[in-house]
Amino acid sequence: GLNMKVLLHLILLVSCITQWTDAASPSATARRFKTKIDEGQSHWNDIGREELKAALDVQLNTNVAKNVILFLGDGMSIATITAARIYKGQKEGKGGEEGKLAFEDFPHAGLSKTYCVDTQVADSASTATAFLTGVKTNYHSVGVDKNVLNKDCSTFNEESKVHSVVQWAQDAGKKTGVVTSTRITHATPSAAYAHTPEREWECDSHIKRDIGDDYLTECSEVKDIARQLIEDEPGASINVLMGGGLQAFQLPSHQVRWDDDWNCERLDGKDLIDEFITKKTEAGKTKAVVTNMTDLMNVDDSTEYLLGLFWNTHLPYEHVKEEEELDIPTLAEMTEKAITMLQKGDNGFFLLVEGGRIDHAHHDGTAKRALDEAVAMDKAVEAALKLTNEEDTLIVVTADHAHAMSFNGYPDRGSEIVGLGTMADDDLPLTTLMYNTGPGFNYTTNADGEVVRWNLTDTTVTDFEHLQQGEVYMEWSNHGGEDVAIYAKGPMSYLFHSLHEQNYIAHAMAYAACIGADTDVGSHCPEKEVLKNGGFQPETGSSPWTIAGSLVGALFGVIIIAGVLSMIIKKY
């Protein structure tokens, strides 16, 4: 009857305005997430006026940053940010293009030049050294200057070491923390505390692998990265450490799991977990060592030192944690715990949070995973925003380098970002996201000798494991050399405003917090006394000697004034 016809028309209408495309599109299985907003003239004029008003309302925050949080999206290129923004929106059933990641609402932004001293396209060790120590260095180097050559221990010495913002923060009496989804000894986190001519020397067996049987003699001055974290400063004084990489800290006989793909093992007979516990106990410090989410949540926030190692190598991808219900914290959960613990200090803190598996997913050519990891880091940023105050906390979000993923093909608005986009000139569909290099290279020749590419029509391109097509075969997709974005909010965040050398990030963060060696550049910071390694400590003026000096000075002032008055009275 009539009611049935009306119902059918409504069903047809809804199907036209929601998520699914028609048969005229590149593929009848391509999902669409159309916006339901009327995007006429008034819509865009309203958006323009709102953005203009927001820009005019921005006030420069010149406060001293008591706390600094650096979020580092490893391999988070601008293309990755754009695609992740859309992916996030589409997970919420929206078109995606009109949305924002949490950090894209920050009031200040700039660009970072990521090249290192000896290569145009850098790796994560050299870039981390730049943005954490303020000094650019060579490819694969950690915490040393350009004079140290790769895997050459003879060029390594004390003068070549460069110290990080973690050291400067500790010198100023601040608490410090490092959180990562990679191994805690991996490239980015290691630059916060280690010094080595090779980023892969995370355990001593890898030094032997590269140097040979004489490694103990030839590299006697170079400890593996795991040892440096537990035994040397500033690693030994980092209050909160969370990530993966348990395998580098324990003897093989103590391992619950073993990762054959990462065959890093201890040859020196040391159990660095036991060493960590012993050192903190002897120093009378409260400490906790945890290997799962359940135990992490039971750690008291007042605990002075936390070591959380939740997997033998890198932590599983976020979607794997969820799908397999693993007892492993998300990046956001680790960030929340780190902040609540570090906030127990009176002098503030510095915290590094790395979304490290964005990079690994890109290397594997699995774009959906990379976007999912980027959104996971965005959730960690949201957590930090809820727990901190922009009046005293500087939050910086950036990347170490770009990646070879491209965003292309003229897809329709609302096209599923991880799905098929348009038809190519070879009459085969292509995905919106592709890689210039990588394992997704899949070309062959037909019977006529013509080069043809992979036909994606019957392929489930939206799986996490799907390999995006690559132009040139590489076992791993390469890094990209283009500039990456910097977003900032909080005290002195306006210092990130233009195109910057990547090492500038360390200088700007330190200046904002009045630590490090640049506090005399402007009038932002109160007077300081110089400490070791370029750090500075505010003068409290509360010591007995300071008070006595002030009283003596005041007494002399009174005597001088009395003398002058006496002379004036006698004269007149």
Q: Among 2-16, 274-288, 533-547, name the one with the lowest average pLDDT.
A: 533-547
Among residues 399, 396, 223, 240, which one has the least CA distance to residue 309? Answer: 240
Average confidence (pLDDT) over 264-280? 95
Beta strands at 287-290 and 349-355: parallel, antiparallel or unpaired = unpaired
SS (H, E, C) 6-31: HHHHHHHHHHHHCCECCCCCCCCCCE
Q: Which of 27, 112, 124, 164 is an active site residue? A: 124
Q: What share of the chain in percent tops pLDDT 70?
A: 85
Show Cβ contacts of residue 524 under 8 Å, excluding neighbours closer than 6 positions: 62, 64, 492, 511, 512, 514
Average confidence (pLDDT) over 544-572? 47
The tokens for 87 are 């992916």
Residue 258: pLDDT over 70: no
The answer to whether 286 and 303 are in contact (CB under 8 A) is: yes
Hey, what's the torsion of the CAs at 493, 498, 504, 505, to 10 degrees? 40
Residue 561: pLDDT over 60: no
- Predicted confidence band of residue 523 (pLDDT cuts 50, 70, 90): confident
For residue range 276-335, what is the model confidence (pLDDT) as tens digits?
999 999 999 999 999 999 999 999 999 999 999 999 999 999 999 999 999 999 999 999
Average confidence (pLDDT) over 261-285? 94
Residue with tokens 């001593």: 204
Show Cβ contacts of residue 14 under 8 Å, excluding neighbours closer than 6 positions: none
- Predicted confidence band of residue 17 (pLDDT cuts 50, 70, 90): very low
Residue 22: pLDDT over 70: no
CA distances from 246 to 250, 309, 324, 566 (A): 7, 5, 20, 78
Calpha distance 139→126 (Å, rounded): 5
Calpha distance 384→396 (Å, rounded): 11
What number of helices (H) and strands (E) belong to the chain? 17, 21
CA distances from 558 to 552, 561, 571 (A): 10, 5, 20
Calpha distance 265→206 (Å, rounded): 8
CA distances from 41 to 46, 48, 189, 412, 413 (A): 9, 11, 48, 20, 18
Q: Give me Rg for the CA atoms of the chain.
A: 28
Q: Residue type at 331?
A: L
Query: Among this protein's residues, is 154 annotated catalytic?
Result: no
Annotated binding site for Mg(2+): 74, 186, 188, 354
Beta strands at 287-290 and 402-403: parallel, antiparallel or unpaired = unpaired
CA distances from 296 to 150, 316, 338 (A): 37, 17, 10
| Predicted TM-score (pTM) of this structure | 0.88
For residue range 86-119, what is the model confidence (pLDDT) as tens digits?
999 999 999 999 999 999 999 999 999 999 999 9
- Predicted confidence band of residue 346 (pLDDT cuts 50, 70, 90): very high
Calpha distance 476→455 (Å, rounded): 22
Residue 533: pLDDT over 60: no
pLDDT given at position 382: 98
pLDDT given at position 543: 37
Among residues 10, 42, 93, which one has the least CA distance to residue 416? Answer: 93
Residue 398: pLDDT over 90: yes
The answer to whether 488 and 480 are in contact (CB under 8 A) is: no
The answer to whether 379 and 84 are in contact (CB under 8 A) is: no
For residue range 139-175, what is the model confidence (pLDDT) as tens digits?
999 999 999 999 999 999 999 999 999 999 999 999 9
Q: How many residues does the chain have?
A: 572
pLDDT given at position 426: 87
Residue 455: pLDDT over 90: no
> 316 or 6, which is more confident?
316
DSSP lists the bridge partners of residue 142 as: 196
pLDDT given at position 11: 45
Among residues 144, 251, 153, which one has the least CA distance to residue 190? Answer: 144
pLDDT given at position 4: 54
For residue range 182-230, what is the model confidence (pLDDT) as tens digits?
999 999 999 999 999 999 999 999 999 999 999 999 999 999 999 999 9
- Predicted confidence band of residue 537 (pLDDT cuts 50, 70, 90): very low
pLDDT given at position 449: 84
Q: What share of the chain in percent tops pLDDT 90?
A: 74
Average confidence (pLDDT) over 460-468? 92
- The angle at the Cα of 216, spanning 211 to 222, to the nearest 5 degrees, equals 80
Calpha distance 525→519 (Å, rounded): 6
Average confidence (pLDDT) over 357-376? 98
Instruction: Please report which helix (H) or strand (E) contains residue 526, including its range.
Output: none
Residue 540: pLDDT over 90: no
- Predicted confidence band of residue 353 (pLDDT cuts 50, 70, 90): very high
Q: Residue type at 30?
A: A
Hey, what's the torsion of the CAs at 493, 498, 499, 505, to 10 degrees? -10
Calpha distance 386→383 (Å, rounded): 5
Task: Please give the mean pLDDT across all residues of the chain.
Answer: 88
Annotated binding site for Zn(2+): 74, 359, 363, 400-401, 479
Calpha distance 86→100 (Å, rounded): 8
- Predicted confidence band of residue 513 (pLDDT cuts 50, 70, 90): very high
Among residues 229, 226, 233, 222, which one has the least CA distance to residue 249? Answer: 226
pLDDT given at position 15: 42
Q: Among 122-126, 182-186, 403-407, 561-565, name the one with the lowest average pLDDT.
A: 561-565
453, burial (CB in 10 Å: exposed 0-12, middle 13-18, buried 19+):
middle
- Predicted confidence band of residue 570 (pLDDT cuts 50, 70, 90): low
Calpha distance 444→456 (Å, rounded): 14
Residue 493: pLDDT over 90: yes
- Predicted confidence band of residue 453 (pLDDT cuts 50, 70, 90): confident
